[in-house]
Structure 1
Amino acid sequence: MRGQVDDLQQASLLDPFRSAVRLISGIHSHRELTDTVQAVVDAVVETVGFAVAVVSVVGPSGRMRTIAVAGSASARLELLGVERPLSTYQAEFDVADHWGSLRFVPWDRAPDAHALGWVPEVPVSPDVDAWHPMDALFAPLRSSDGELIGVLSVDLPVSGRRPAPPQRELLELLAVQAGIAVDNARLTERLRAGEEIFREAFDRTATGMALLHVREDKADQYLRVNPAFCRLLGYSVEELLQLDPAEVTHPDDKEEDAHLVSDLIAGRVDVYQRDKRYLHRMDEPVWVSVSATIARTAEGRPLCAVLQIEDISARRATLERLEHLARHDPLTDLPNRSVLTERLRQAATLAHRDGVVGSALFIDLDGFKRINDQHGHRMGDHVLVTVGQRIRATVREADVVGRWGGDEFVVVANDLDPIQAQVLAERIAAAVAEPITDLDISVSVRVSIGIGPIPIEGGDVAHILDQADHSMYKEKPKGERPTDGLR
């Protein structure tokens, strides 16, 4: 569905959640599917900034039937009641750009210019960012179990340009509500009570949802929570309704939460979306992506805050693991060279700021090549891991131990003068010298340790390490010289 409506009216961007209120209340007030869907398209035209909105739903035969049009009398006349194979839409989706859950088909990629009908002849702007009359933007409507039940199509952003991310996000949010509305409107054939219909929509969605009481600049009480949200946090519905939202929010996220909610209620922002941590009943953090907005009366008075909560724990864990791998040595799991350089730079800054000398210890294993040659790389790897563990266990909790490369390790220690550093070096050497055993092989390892002061003048990282390296070389047994690291 593309084109420009003859009687285009400027639609102002009202409160972004007013459309969602229409959808939810429509489940209560509209008993027919067509009435509910018409409320959806009307809300999109009135609030999201598109001149035309169309909803087609999957019928019993599996074909898509257009049952609601808003914004254009001519589009309504041409499109309303038309049925098309589901494959027509799939062909569009196959060539579309993915904007989150939205599907955007640029005019020059359309599989069939007339497949979806209503393509009037209108002037085309030469601006590459302008909305072309042949562009198409679709929001698939899905049931709570992910089944495609319809498509919301929009056309002609009132700005005349391709929609920016905030406008897309709002359309996505309303499309979620539209999917719930369509799914539950189909249940009206079997369910009569409006409250029961709303409960079905709210409770059956696989995404966590919550309605919060709004007072002044706070949302301080759960009015309704769905089972998916309860499962996420490990509480029953009754238990969660007794808790203040702040009680299940991670302490580190409370302050930002309070500011965002205050801005939302005051209307300084329309929608907020952020990643945050809740606290599970077992006191474990749960990472979620939260979308929140305010339901308001026609006069603009806040009714309640509405939250959609997606569990992103697995995604977050993967991201944290990748970040960890990028900053740690894969064998010893100690910080790698880039982290050590960063921490040395920080240590130099702290020494200058606080006027307290620190130390960098450069540690090299003597004769490590012989261990590899005589016992193989399995034993060599075991020695490196064990040495790293012993160094870590010997230094202070605040000290940083990392693998510089090969058989070289570095310790960064704030507030540690050269005399104290020498004492620490002797303890490290003694700890490492204990025999290291793997299976039936036992070896002893000696280390050479050089100390580079981190002066109160701050100092350059390369210079600090160079001093430690030269100091370490002096400790080497005669004839041995480091071949990795700084040289």
Structure 2
Amino acid sequence: MPIERRNPQQAIGRRKLESTLRNILSSMEDVILELDRDGNILFMSKAIAGYDIQDILGRDFCDWAPESDHATMRAALEKVFTSGATTWYQTQNTTDLGAVRWYESRLSPVMRDDAVRSAILINLDITQRKQIELEAEKQAYLIQLFYNLPFIGMTIAEPSTRRWIQVNDKICEIMGYRREELLQRTWESLTHPDDLAMSVHEYECVMRSESNSYSLEKRFLHKSGSVIHTTVDVHCARNAQGEPDYFVATIQDITARKLQEARIHHMAHHDLLTDLPNRTLLSDRISQSLLIAKRNGSGFATLFMDLDNFKPVNDEYGHATGDLLLKAVAQRIQTCVRASDTVARMGGDEFVVLLAPVESKAQAVQVAEKIHAALAEPFELLDGHTALISSSIGIAMYPEHADTEDALVRCADNAMYAAKAAGRDCVVVYIAP
């Protein structure tokens, strides 16, 4: 930075001052340049971008900027010299090692005798800030891209109110609400009541900084009142103090998958013809009844029944008619028992009824006689035909006759065969040999 000399002593003092100033400027983190009107570098406080100072002095200040920035830089310099105004602009430089650095530049006039003699260029290295901004822009772009995916619902929620402040089109489709309607609701108000406690627990763990995200399967309530099964992934964005700033959630509708799983589960546990529980589900129900009975000191009964005259009907009228008869038998048995009882088809024309709980053997016999009488009533078949059948029913009691699942079914089966041996068409209670 040239200083005009007036006398030898002043010159010496000024040179010392200039040296001191240069040392101060060199120690500063930011780069300071002095430029003439043509943009030539007259002074430089420190090396930049991996170059020595001597390599830079006298060169054009545009040499270290992309050509696309030259017009902006020269326009800023011209503005300083013509108007005396300070101006700002941003550029990027590439070091001799190929690294890219960003600078925010401030051009200010140096006035002498009421005229602009040179310009001071202060380059603030904003590389770190720029990288953060670019990364934020990239993340924002990716979030926006993700936000607009046609198959994923996405929401942004405000932590304190738990209200959705942004929702995408897919979440509106999933929930059945218009966007403006959803923005008036909290996620709690849309959550299935049975899943609310679980959701709130996970949310509060994040609020207490015990975690920063969570994933779960939960149900929402559609505007129509129907239940929506979803998978929800929630992530918390925190502010500089570590407090929750907002919650971002992705929500996928898995209702169709859940319904399919339920259908498969139902098929695996129910008889295809009558839709009654099959052996597998019956086994589970008996196991549950055993646990409850042992805990409560209560009892229950297992009824094993076989249709006496089913085969002649099946042979005479065909399997289609036989299948219809079995369905009618299943429905008639169900009308004779409580909703809490289980009617299962074992296969063929064999059925098992689980009465749980029962207070006495007499109560079990009463229900068995009711079923026996109901099955003795005529059944209307196809083409106006009528079928008359009967049933043989065996009864086993817990804990009197057995205390395990297999033993109970076996005892009831033995009692049923005793009814067959006694001439069929009757009810027999198991008697231990």
Identify the TM-score tier after normalising by the shorter chain.
0.5 to 0.7
State the partner residue of 2:289: 347
Partner-residue secondary structure (3-state), 1:414? strand
Go from structure 1 to structure 2 and tell me whether the alpha carbon gap of 1:457 and 1:409 turns closer, same or farther (over 3 Å shift): closer
* Structure-1 residue corresponding to 2:239: 297
Query: Contact conserved, 2:392 with 2:424, CA < 8 A, in 1?
Result: no
Partner of 2:412: 468
**Residues 456 and 277 of structure 1: CA distance in aligned 2, closer, same or farther (over 3 Å):** farther
**Paired position in structure 2 for 1:421:** 364
The whole-number CA distance in structure 1 between the counterparts of 2:372 and 2:401 is: 29
Counterpart position of 1:181: 141
- What do residues 164-184 of structure 1 show as CA deviations (whole Å, max 9, x unaligned)? xxxxxxxxxxxxx979825x9
Note if 1:229 corresponds to 2:171. Answer: yes
Distance in 2, matches of 1:314 and 1:449, equals: 42
Residue of structure 2 equivalent to 1:308:
250
Say if 2:209 is the partner of 1:209.
no
Q: Which letter does structure 2 place at the counterpart of 1:211? A: I
Q: Secondary structure of the residue that 1:427 maps to in structure 2?
A: helix
Determine if the alignment matches structure 1 residue 267 to structure 2 residue 209.
yes
Following superposition, the deviation at residue 321 of structure 1 comes to 0.8
Rounded Cα–Cα distance in structure 2 between residues aligned with 1:179 and 1:445? 74
Q: TM-score, normalised by structure 2?
A: 0.62
Give the distance between the partners of 1:178 and 1:325, measured in 2 at CA.
Answer: 49
The structure 1 residue matched to 2:280, chosen from 338, 341, 363, is 338
1 CA distance for matches of 2:416 and 2:402?
21
In 2, are the aligned partners of 1:452 and 1:471 still within 8 Å (CA)? yes
Helix, strand or coil at the partner of 1:476: helix
> Which residues of 2 match residues 126-137 of structure 1 at below 5 A?
none
CA contact (8 A) 1:351 1:458 kept: no
TM-superposed deviation, 1:474: 2.5
Q: Which runs of structure 2 are paired with 1:73-84 in the superposition (5 Å)?
A: none
Following superposition, the deviation at residue 284 of structure 1 comes to 1.1
Match of 2:328 in 1: 386
Unaligned runs of 5+ in 1: 1-72, 78-176, 185-197, 482-487
Question: Is the counterpart of residue 406 in structure 1 residue 348 in structure 2?
Answer: yes
CA drift of 1:205 comes to 4.4
- Equivalent position of 1:287 in the other structure: 229
How far apart, CA to CA, are the structure 1 residues paired with 2:400 and 2:141?
Answer: 66
Instruction: Indicate the residue corresponding to 1:365 in structure 2.
Output: 307
2:152 partner letter: T
- Partner SS state of residue 197, structure 2: helix
Cross-structure match for 1:442 = 386
Q: Give the AA of the match of 1:212.
A: A
Question: For 2:182, what is the secondary structure of its paired residue?
Answer: helix
Instruction: Tell me if the contact between 1:351 and 1:456 (Cα under 8 Å) persists in the aligned partners.
Output: no
- Please say which structure displays the higher CA radius of gyration: 2
Structure 2 residue ranges without an equivalent (≥5): 1-94, 100-136, 426-433
| 1:181 partner letter | Y
Question: What's the offset of the Cα at 1:475?
Answer: 2.2
The 1:409/1:264 distance shift into structure 2, 3 A limit, reads same
Deviations 1:271-317 (A, max 9, x none): 31221100011211101111111012244221111111111111111
So what's the TM-score if we normalise by structure 1?
0.55
**8 Å contact kept, 1:212–1:220:** yes
Q: Choose which of 308, 314, 317 in structure 1 pairs with 2:259.
A: 317
**Do residues 455 (structure 1) and 399 (structure 2) align?**
yes
Give CA deviations for 1:306-365 in whole Å, capped at 9, x if unaligned: 111111111111111111111111111111112112211222222222122211111111
Identical-pair percentage: 37
Matched residue type, 2:270: H
Counterpart CA distance in 2 for 1:294 and 1:456 is: 59
Q: Which residue of 2 aligns with 1:118?
A: none
CA offsets 1:125-158 (integer angstroms, 9 cap, x no match): xxxxxxxxxxxxxxxxxxxxxxxxxxxxxxxxxx
Judge conservation of contact 1:349–1:458 (CA < 8 Å) in 2.
Answer: no
> Alignment length, in residue pairs?
290
1:229/1:309 contact within 8 Å kept = yes
Moved more, 359-368 or 258-267: 258-267
Hey, what's the Cα distance between the residues in 2 that align with 1:412 and 1:178? 63
